[in-house]
């Protein structure tokens, strides 16, 4: 990505301080279905949504937010009847999903895609700035390439890699008997998503991954998104429609010879205005699509 575009996007989202101020945040626990619970931050940005499998075999946690949320996550887990924490699954490497690794690795085994370990071992840079290499304690102990299955709490928990979508390290968690899926950041409910182009992400393959996930989901599935409320298949289909429609719009303008700046100035049709409610605004989402199209 060209340096001016990085600076431009950073300017647009610079009002977000995603690593500060956790004192006023609480974690809401929701029983989703079967053995699965959802933990979500209330009162500020705690990081991504968490899933918990609880049962006779102990606790399994999907993602662990920022390090500043560690004590609140531990307290929330104590409120769920399921014994000791045994496993933590990272849906990808970003700090709002893996920031608690160094602490939770003291009591549980961390599992993630191969690229999560690789990226946590080295400095990274994306639109939110630079991050240093993480300490060894934060690195996943078990990694996989395509998929992995844990047999726990009366069901198969499938952890499947979806390549080059949000990042190059994404895994989606299927709680097969409970009929719950944690998509990681392959789903932002009713807002434009962050696609990390610097970490192997791409809007085009992200969209293909979302379609593949939709095709695998039963009608009554309950979806824990990376960000946003507990969702349904209809919510996910609406998200997919946005991805297709806005990408087609940018492609049409690009094919007509418009520059990135001209497309951003024109913006999207009014129907997509409400999707600005998140931290990725229209101009940045257009940037992600534009750069992804150029990389095809």
Instruction: Give the pLDDT score at 46.
Output: 94
Is the pLDDT at 67 greater than 60, yes or no? yes
Q: Is the pLDDT of residue 162 over 90?
A: yes
pLDDT in tens, 187-238: 999 999 999 999 999 999 999 999 999 999 999 999 999 999 999 999 999 9
On whether the CB atoms of residues 33 and 179 are closer than 8 A, the answer is yes
Q: How far apart are CA 237 and CA 258, in angstroms?
A: 29
Are 143 and 185 a contacting pair, CB within 8 Å? no
Q: Name all domains of the chain by residue range, CATH numbers in brackets.
A: 20-242 (3.60.15.10)
* Pairing mode, strands 85-89 and 58-62: parallel
Measured between its terminal Cα atoms, the distance across the chain in Å is 14
The DSSP call for residue 25 is -
For residue 265, count other CB atoms closer than 10 A to its CB: 11
Give CA–CA dist 76/40, Å, rounded: 10
pLDDT at position 15 is 32
What is the C-alpha to C-alpha distance for residues 62 and 93, in angstroms, rounded to an integer? 12
Q: What pLDDT sits at residue 289?
A: 98
Q: Are 33 and 222 in contact (CB under 8 A)?
A: yes
Among residues 252, 87, 109, 280, which one has the least CA distance to residue 196?
Answer: 280
Q: Kindly give the interhelix angle for 233-255 and 282-294, rounded to the nearest 10 degrees.
A: 70
DSSP strands (E only) in 3-137: 26-33, 36-42, 50-55, 58-62, 85-89, 109-113, 124-126, 129-131
Mean pLDDT value across the chain: 93
Q: How confident is the model at residue 21 (pLDDT cuts 50, 70, 90)?
A: confident
DSSP helix/strand/coil, 111: strand
């Amino acid at each position: 990505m060209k340096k001016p575009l990085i600076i431009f996007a950073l300017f647009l989202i610079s009002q977000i301080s995603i690593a500060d101020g956790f004192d006023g945040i609480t974690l809401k626990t929701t029983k989703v279905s079967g053995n699965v619970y959802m933990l979500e931050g209330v009162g500020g940005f705690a990081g991504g949504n968490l899933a918990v499998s609880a049962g006779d075999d102990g606790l399994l946690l999907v993602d662990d937010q920022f390090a500043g949320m560690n004590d609140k996550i531990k307290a929330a887990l104590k409120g769920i009847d399921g014994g000791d924490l045994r496993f933590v699954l990272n849906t990808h490497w970003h700090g709002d999903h893996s920031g608690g690794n160094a602490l939770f690795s003291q009591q549980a085994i961390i599992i993630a895609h191969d690229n999560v370990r690789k990226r946590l071992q080295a400095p990274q840079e994306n639109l939110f700035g630079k991050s240093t290499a993480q300490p060894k304690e934060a690195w996943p102990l078990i990694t996989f390439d395509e998929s992995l299955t844990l047999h726990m709490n009366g069901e198969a928990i499938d952890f499947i890699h979806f390549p080059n979508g949000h990042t190059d390290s994404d895994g989606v968690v299927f709680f097969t008997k409970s009929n719950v899926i944690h998509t990681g950041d392959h789903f932002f409910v009713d807002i434009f998503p962050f696609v990390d182009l610097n970490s192997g992400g791409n809007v085009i393959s992200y969209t293909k991954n979302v379609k593949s996930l939709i095709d695998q989901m039963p009608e009554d599935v309950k979806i824990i998104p990376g960000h946003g409320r507990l969702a349904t298949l209809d919510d996910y289909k609406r998200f997919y429609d946005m991805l297709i429609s806005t990408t087609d719009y940018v492609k049409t303008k690009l094919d007509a010879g418009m520059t990135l700046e001209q497309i951003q100035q024109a913006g999207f049709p009014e129907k997509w205005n409400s999707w600005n409610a998140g931290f990725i605004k229209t101009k940045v989402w257009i940037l992600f699509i534009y750069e992804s199209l150029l990389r095809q």
